[in-house]
C-alpha cells in the first residue's frame, strides 16, 4: 500500500502540472507574460470552496472553478488589449493584487483573513474521494485530461496562430488574423485551468485563506515554465515533477532544528540557479522569454 506521504507528493505534482500547463499556454505559446495567474488560481479556489460549502455537487464546483476565472481572464484581456510586453505584465500583476485585496477584505463573501475551513472532500455521482488514493486517481485523471486538451490546442491551427502572434503580432495581423481574439482566448483558457488547479488545492487542503494566493505563490509556477522551457508542454510536465519532488528529500537531511528552514530554501534556490546557468532557455525551450 502506498504511503500517504508519497501519495500526497503525487497529488501536489498533479496540481503543479495543471497550473504550469495553464501558464505555459499564455507565456510560452502566446507570449503573454501573465502575472495575473495567481489571481485566477485564487478565484478558482474560492469559487470551488464557496460552492462546496453551500452544498453544491463536486462536478458543478469544479466546472465553475474553471468558468468563473475564465470570465475574468476574458475581461482582463479586454482591458489590456492595447498594452504589450512589460506593461502587460504590470497590468496583470495589478490584477493579482486587486484580487488578493478583495479576498482579504470582502469578509462577507470570503470570510477575509479567517479563511474558509471545512471544505468537504469531493463526491462525484456517489463515488467518494475522501481517502488519499482515490483523490490521487481523480487528480491524475483531471491532470491527464488537462494535458490532452492543452496539447490539442497547441497543435491545432488555433495553436499555430497563437505561436505566430507570439513571434510577430504585426505580421499575424497583416495576414488577417484577429490577434486580440487569439490572446483573449489564450488568457481565458489559462484562467480556466488555473482555476481548476485552485479548486484542487481547496479540496485537498480543506481550508483556504488569502495568504495562499499572493504573488509569491506564482513564483514556483513561473520557475517551472521557464525551467521546462517556453513553448514546450512536455518540458513543463517534467519540470513540474522535478521541482515539486525536489524539496522532499531535503526534509530527510539531518540539519540542526534552528537552521532547517533556511538551509532547505537555500539548497533549493541553488539548484534552480545551477539549472538556469547551464540551460538558460530551460530544458526544452523553443523560444526566448523577451
Site residues (CB under 8 A) for another protein? 3-6, 8-9, 12, 104-105, 107, 112-115, 117-118, 201, 205-209, 211-212, 232, 234-235, 238, 241-242, 245-246, 248-249, 251-252, 257-258, 260-262, 264-265, 283-284
CB 260 within 8 A of CB 248: no
CB closer to another protein out of 90 and 205? 205
In the three-class reduction of DSSP (H, G, I as helix; E, B as strand; rest coil), residue 117 is classed as: strand
CB 165 within 8 A of CB 81: no
User: In the bound complex, what is the minimum distance in angstroms from residue 180's beta carbon to another protein?
Assistant: 32
Describe the chain by its helix, strand, coil percentages, rounded to 5.
Answer: 75, 5, 25
Residue with the three cell numbers 496540481: 15
Residue 104 or 149 with smaller CB distance to another protein:
104
Minimum Å gap between C-beta 78 and another protein is 29
CB of 272 to another protein, least distance (A): 14
C-alpha distances in Å from residue 147, one per residue of 19, 45, 118, 157, 236: 11, 20, 30, 18, 10
CB atoms near residue 75 (< 10 Å): 15
3-state secondary structure at position 1: coil
Q: CB of residue 93 vs another protein: minimum separation in angstroms?
A: 16
User: Does residue 36 contact residue 95 with C-beta atoms inside 8 Å?
Assistant: yes
Distance CA 145, CA 47 (A): 21
Cβ distance to another protein smaller for residue 21 or 184: 21
On whether the CB atoms of residues 133 and 2 are closer than 8 A, the answer is yes
Q: Minimum CB separation from another protein for residue 48, in Å?
A: 15
Task: Give the residue with the Cβ less far from another protein, 46 or 284.
Answer: 284
Q: Which three cell numbers stand for residue 214?
A: 499572493
CB of 260 to another protein, least distance (A): 5
Residue 49 CA to residue 148 CA, distance in Å, equals 26
> Which of residues 80 and 110 has its CB atom nearest to another protein in the complex?
110
Least Cβ distance, residue 238 to another protein (angstroms): 5
Task: Report how far apart the first and last C-alpha atoms of the chain are (Å, whole number).
Answer: 47
Distance CA 112, CA 260 (A): 31
Least separation in angstroms between CB 235 and another protein:
8
57 or 115: whose CB is closer to another protein? 115
Q: How far is CA 243 from the centre of its chain?
A: 14
Nearer to another protein, 59 or 207 (CB): 207
Shorter beta-carbon distance to another protein: residue 39 or 237: 237
Residue for grid cell 490546442: 153
Amino acid at each position: 500500500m502506498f504511503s500517504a506521504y508519497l501519495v500526497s507528493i503525487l497529488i501536489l505534482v498533479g496540481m503543479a502540472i495543471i497550473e504550469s500547463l495553464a501558464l505555459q499556454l499564455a507565456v510560452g505559446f502566446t507570449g503573454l507574460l501573465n502575472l495575473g495567474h495567481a489571481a485566477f488560481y485564487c478565484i478558482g479556489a474560492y469559487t470551488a470552496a464557496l460552492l462546496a460549502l453551500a452544498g453544491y455537487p463536486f462536478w458543478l464546483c469544479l466546472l465553475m472553478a474553471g468558468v468563473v476565472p475564465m470570465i475574468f481572464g476574458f475581461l482582463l484581456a479586454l482591458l489590456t488589449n492595447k498594452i504589450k510586453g512589460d506593461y502587460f505584465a504590470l497590468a496583470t500583476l495589478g490584477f493579482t493584487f486587486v484580487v488578493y485585496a478583495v479576498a482579504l477584505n470582502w469578509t462577507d463573501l470570503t470570510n477575509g483573513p479567517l479563511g474558509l475551513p471545512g471544505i468537504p472532500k469531493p463526491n462525484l455521482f456517489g463515488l467518494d474521494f475522501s481517502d488519499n488514493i482515490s483523490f490521487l486517481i481523480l487528480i491524475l485523471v483531471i491532470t491527464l485530461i488537462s494535458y490532452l486538451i492543452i496539447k490539442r490546442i497547441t497543435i491545432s491551427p488555433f495553436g499555430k496562430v497563437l505561436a505566430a502572434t507570439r513571434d510577430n503580432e504585426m505580421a499575424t495581423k497583416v495576414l488577417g488574423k484577429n490577434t486580440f481574439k487569439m490572446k483573449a482566448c489564450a488568457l481565458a483558457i489559462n484562467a480556466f485551468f488555473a482555476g481548476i488547479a485552485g479548486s484542487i488545492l481547496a479540496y485537498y487542503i480543506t481550508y483556504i485563506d488569502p495568504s495562499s494566493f499572493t504573488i509569491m505563490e506564482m513564483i514556483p509556477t513561473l520557475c517551472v515554465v521557464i525551467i521546462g522551457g517556453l513553448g514546450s508542454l512536455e518540458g513543463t510536465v517534467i519540470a513540474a515533477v522535478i521541482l515539486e519532488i525536489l524539496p522532499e528529500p531535503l526534509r530527510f537531511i539531518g540539519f540542526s532544528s534552528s537552521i532547517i528552514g533556511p538551509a532547505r530554501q537555500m539548497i533549493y534556490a541553488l539548484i534552480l540557479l545551477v539549472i538556469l546557468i547551464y540551460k538558460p532557455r530551460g530544458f526544452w525551450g523553443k523560444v526566448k522569454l523577451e
